[in-house]
Each structure stands twice: as C-alpha cells, then as structure tokens.
Amino acid sequence: AAIKCIRTYGLESYLEVDGEPRPVLAEVAMMLRLGTSCSSIIKLHDWMENDVGFILIMEVPDQSMTLYRYLKNCGSIDGGTASRFRHQLLDAAKHLFSCGIFHSDLHLENVLVSESSLDLK
C-alpha cells in the first residue's frame, strides 16, 4: 500500500459524499465515489483527516513503476504495447468521465505500469 499525505490550507475544494457526515476533500470524495468500479484506477483502501490535512492509504500494484520510468528504461516499445497502453488510458479516462470526474493532471508520472502484466493504473 502507498500512503499519501495531503496538507490542507483551507483553500481546497470539499465535496459531499453519501455516507459521510460532512464534506470531504475533493480528491478523497472522488476516490470514494469511484470505489472499485474500474480495474485501471488506483483503489483507496482507507483515509483519515487530522489537524493538518488528510492521509490516504492507496493500492500499489505489485512490481510497478511510473510509465515515465518504464518508457525511459525500455528506450522504445513496439506498436502493440503502445496500442495496449493507449487503450487502457482511454478506458480509464472514459470511466472517470462517466462518473463525472475529469483528471486534470494526467501525465506519465501519474500512471503506473505493472512490469509483469503491462497493466496500467
């Protein structure tokens, strides 16, 4: 699992989520709304709020690295692998959009690739 700490400064966006007594940080709300509905999206295992921000416990695929590092290590990839990656990214983006979420920071360092299966998250 990965632990992500998000320091809050009072200017962040908060959203309502069913089952939560008060609005939560937008990033947490979006992950809660997604749940486990798409295998290409990192799962939120747990979260908590403290006096300085939020702590998120998230899934980390086994033997994974960022897509940036993977491409840098490989030097080049074949057309089939490139097409596979493109389809996975588009499917994940379409799923997010269908849930009312637009990922505004999608880049190679925000995508993980499993070395053994070439599945993206």
Rounded Cα distance between 88 and 61, Å, is 15
Distance of alpha carbon 103 from alpha carbon 24, whole angstroms: 18
Mapped onto helix, strand or coil, the DSSP state of residue 4 is strand
- Is 105 marked active-site? yes
Amino acid at 6: I
Catalytic site residue from 18, 51, 78, 105: 105
Catalytic residues: 105
